[in-house]
Amino acid sequence: MLNQLLNIATSTQWQEDIPANRCSNKVLSWLLDETSLTKKLEQQCNQFSVQVKQQINTDTEQFALSPYFIDSEKLLVREVILHCDNIATVFAQTEIPHSTLSSSQEKLTNLGSESLGKVLFQDKTLQRGKFEVAEFTVGSPVHDFIASLEQTCTHSLWARRSLFYIGEKPLLVSEVFLPSSGIYN
């Protein structure tokens, strides 16, 4: 049984510029880091793993997703939780238009518990667009979600998203840093 997709696209305001006083320098350094988040997390823990929450084919009319893809375009949406030492640290949601999933990019449909970041950052054609960041205040759908992970949080949570292009074909990766990510300390 599939769960409702977590509404991270429209439940807050995404912006390219973030006022420096809104979050700490440590949080900001994680939000704007252009290297592989998978690799960065692997360096911070003994055991890194990916838990697939769900992967569905849908369209932009069925769910409130990002504004990046044409209305009613078919999308593959993948939601995962990245774990460090068996602790949920990042929630990631990826939107991949079906038009992106042709030829060599078709492998993205069958990642299973493999990290998308590992696949993307090995692709020689990879280009990354600008970052957008978002703040999820207490009471947001993200906070409701983290309660289901048995994590508590009395402060805002931060997220980032950016378009990636592989073979000049787009996909959007959004990453929410959970309370146990360690970036808020």
The token duo for 141 is 């759908």
- Check whether 99 has a pLDDT greater than 70: yes
12-16, 43-47, 157-161, range with the lowest pLDDT: 12-16
The string of pLDDT tens digits covering residues 133-165 is: 999 999 898 998 998 898 989 999 999 999 999
Domain residue ranges of the chain, discontinuous segments joined by +:
20-181
- The mean predicted confidence, pLDDT, of the chain is 89
What CATH number does the domain located at 20-181 have? 3.40.1410.10
Rg of the Cα atoms in the chain: 16
| DSSP letter (8 states) at residue 11 | S
